[in-house]
Amino acid sequence: MVSAYGWTQRWWAPAGPLRHNDVVDSSRFSAWRPGFAYREQVLPRLVECACGSRDLHRWRRRTTDGLSGELLEIGFGSGLNLGHYGPDVSLIRAVEPSPGARRRSERRIADQSIPVEHLDLEAESLPLEDASCDGALSTFTLCTIADVERALAEVYRVVRPGGRFHFLEHGIAPDVRVQVWQRRLEPIQRRVAGGCHLTRDPVALVERAGFEIDSVEQRYARGPRPWTYFTLGIARRP
């Protein structure tokens, strides 16, 4: 199965998607490839802008609350959650396949004290031992990962029993009229927003992966409704 990120790489870049044990060399992302500028320079900026509002930072703070120890963060992006982790977090293992987003995270990583280890792969294939993380975080990423079931199975595998998975995601709205628009807009959204879906149900996905849900808060945040039905979930590996 090729992920959305892998698909765009295959489409834009003949080198194909990243695989386990791949060495990432700069020629793979060379700037002459069509689409490079959008995918690696414009899109990470757009995402940072769309996901970096003050309102969203309040949601992020609540989502990171209570996490501790060595964590996995899937879809690390430009590191917008970094300022919110508490003092009990000792290490962040970051999974972010976009070199453009990783570059944008460098300053935030340097400006804070928690060590960040980039895993250089995709969430569908984590180079980590079973039960090697105390917890995991995903913010606005379950919408984008192409094989999200496989990615969540990997998150489940690497989180220790009793460990927590916190997630903040947008997804399918409860109102039929909004759902109609979400279905209409999803094809264009996927094209322009790096594979982002509007109609996924994050709670159902997390439960299907085997996690137990401790708490869920769901409501519309500020902004146009097809994009802003948010879920803040706290789940636990039994």
Ligand X SMILES: C[S@@+](CC[C@H](N)C(=O)[O-])C[C@H]1O[C@@H](n2cnc3c(N)ncnc32)[C@H](O)[C@@H]1O
**Contact flag: residue 74 with ligand X (CB under 6 A):** yes
Query: Considering the complex, what minimum distance in angstroms separates the CB of residue 221 from ligand X?
Result: 13
- Nearest position to ligand X, beta carbon: 77
Residue 205: which region, alpha, beta or left (left: phi > 0; alpha: psi -120 to 50)?
alpha
CA distance 57 to 121: 26
* Choice from 13, 71, 89, 101 touching ligand X (CB under 6 A): 101
Q: How far is CA 235 from CA 107, 141, 153, 222, in A?
A: 30, 16, 14, 25
* Choice from 29, 59, 85, 140 touching ligand X (CB under 6 A): 140
- For the record, the structure tokens of 22 come out as 């791949």
Residue number with CB closer to ligand X (37 or 180) = 37
**Contact flag: residue 105 with ligand X (CB under 6 A):** no
Per-residue burial over 100-114, b = 16 or more CB atoms within 10 Å of its CB, e = otherwise: bbbebbeeebeeeee
Q: For residue 215, what are the β-bridge partners?
A: 234
Q: Could you tell me which stretch among 96-104, 128-136, 182-190, 220-228 binds ligand X (CB under 6 A)?
A: 96-104
Query: Considering the complex, what minimum distance in angstroms separates the CB of residue 156 from ligand X?
Result: 15
CA distance 145 to 131: 22
**Contact flag: residue 75 with ligand X (CB under 6 A):** yes
**Contact flag: residue 77 with ligand X (CB under 6 A):** yes
First-to-last alpha carbon distance for the chain, in angstroms, is: 28
**Contact flag: residue 95 with ligand X (CB under 6 A):** yes
**Contact flag: residue 189 with ligand X (CB under 6 A):** no
CA distance 121 to 118: 9
- The residue type at 19: R
Q: Would you say how long the chain is, in residues?
A: 238
**Contact flag: residue 51 with ligand X (CB under 6 A):** yes
Q: Could you tell me which stretch among 63-71, 93-101, 157-165, 207-215 binds ligand X (CB under 6 A)?
A: 93-101
Residue number with CB closer to ligand X (17 or 177) = 17
For ligand X, the binding residues (CB under 6 A) are 3-5, 47, 51, 74-75, 77, 80, 95-98, 101, 122-124, 139-141, 144-145, 194
